[in-house]
Amino acid sequence: MLNSIIAGLTSGGVYALLGLCVVLTYRLVAVVNFAMAATGAVGAFTMVSLTEAGLNVWPALILGVAAGAALSGLLGAVLVRWFSGHDERTKAAVTVAIYVALMAAGLRIFGNNTSGARNFPRPFDSPAFTVGDVVVPQAVLVSLAFAVLITVGVGLLLSRTGVGLRLQALSERPETAQVVGIPAPRLAMAVWVAIGALTTLVILIVAPRLGGDFSTLGGLIATALAVAMVGAFRSLPLTLLGGILLGCLEGFAAFWEPVQQYRGVVPFLVILVLLWWRSRHEVWDTAHSR
C-alpha cells in the first residue's frame, strides 16, 4: 500500500502542475482551456519523434517545448483576435473544438494507445531515498518541488509585482486594461505561450509512467480540470493540495483490488462530487433568499 501511495505522490505532483496550468490560464486570460493537455502532448511527441530520428535529447527538448508553446500561442492568437469580446462559455467551446481537432490529428500522426506508445526519456527514475523497503524515485521530489515552486512563484508574481497586477487587470476587465494603457493582447499572448511551454514539460515528466501514447496524455485534461475544481479555479495552494490528494487517491485505488480496474474514473468522480457539493450550497442560498 505504501508503494502505491508513493507512486500516487509522483502522479500527484504532475496532476497539481496540470491543475495549476488550468487555473493560471483561467485567472490570467479568463479561459477554461480544454485543449491544454493536447497542445502539451503535441510538444512532447515532437520532442520524442526528434530523438527517435537521431537528434540529441537537449536540442530535441528545446524544439519540443517550442512546438508546444507555439501551438498554445496560436490558440491564444485565435481567441484574442476573433473571440476577445465573447463570454467565457464561448471561449471554452472554442477550446473544446480545438481539443477534438488536435486529438484526431494527434492520433492520426502519432498513433493510438495500442500502436503509438513511445519510449520517452526517464531522467528522474533513479532512487532518491528509501522509506522502509520502499524506494522513492527522484521523480516524486522533482514533480512536487516543481509544483510548489510554481505555486509560490506565481503567487508572488501576482501579488507583489506590477506585471502581476497588469495580468489580473487583463483577466478581470480586458477592455478597461487596454484603455488605461496596458498592452492586453501582448500580455495575453505571453501567457498562452508560457502555459504551452510549461504544459509540454509537465507532459514529458509524466509520459514514461502513463505508457507514452498520445490518447492517454491528451486525455489528462479531465484530471487537470478535476484538480482545478478543487481550487475553485482561483486558489493556487488548494489546487496544489488537490493534485497531491488526487494522486494519492489513484494510488490507493490501484492498491485496492476490488476498484483497481476502475481507478481511471476517479477524476470524474471528483468532478461530480465537487459539482454536487457546490450546487448544494447554491440551492441552499437560493432557498433562504426567497
CATH number, domain with residue 162: 1.10.3470
Cα 158 from Cα 135, distance rounded (Å): 37
Strand partners, 235: none
Residue 180 has pLDDT above 70, yes or no: no
Q: How many domains does the chain have?
A: 1
At residue 101 the predicted structure's pLDDT band, cuts being 50, 70 and 90, is very high
Residue 18: its pLDDT value, please? 87
Residue 72: its pLDDT value, please? 92
Strand partners, 137: 127
Best CA proximity match to 16, nearest among 252, 278, 214, 230 = 230
Three-state DSSP class for 128?
strand
Model pLDDT for residues 185-226, shown as the tens digit of each residue: 777 888 899 999 999 988 888 888 777 788 888 888 888 888
Residue 42: its pLDDT value, please? 93
Best CA proximity match to 157, nearest among 17, 22, 19, 28 = 28
Three-state DSSP class for 231?
coil
What average pLDDT score do residues 157-161 get?
Answer: 77
Provide the domain limits for residue 31.
Answer: 1-288
Q: In the numeric block, which cell numbers belong to residue 20?
A: 495549476
Compare 64 and 163 and report the one with higher pLDDT.
64
CB 125 within 8 A of CB 137: yes
Model pLDDT for residues 130-154, shown as the tens digit of each residue: 766 667 777 777 878 888 888 888 8
Q: How far is CA 77 from the centre of its chain?
A: 20
Model pLDDT for residues 9-23, shown as the tens digit of each residue: 767 788 888 888 888
Residue 259: its pLDDT value, please? 66
Residue 196: its pLDDT value, please? 92
Q: What are the helix (H) ranges across 30-87? A: 36-52, 57-82
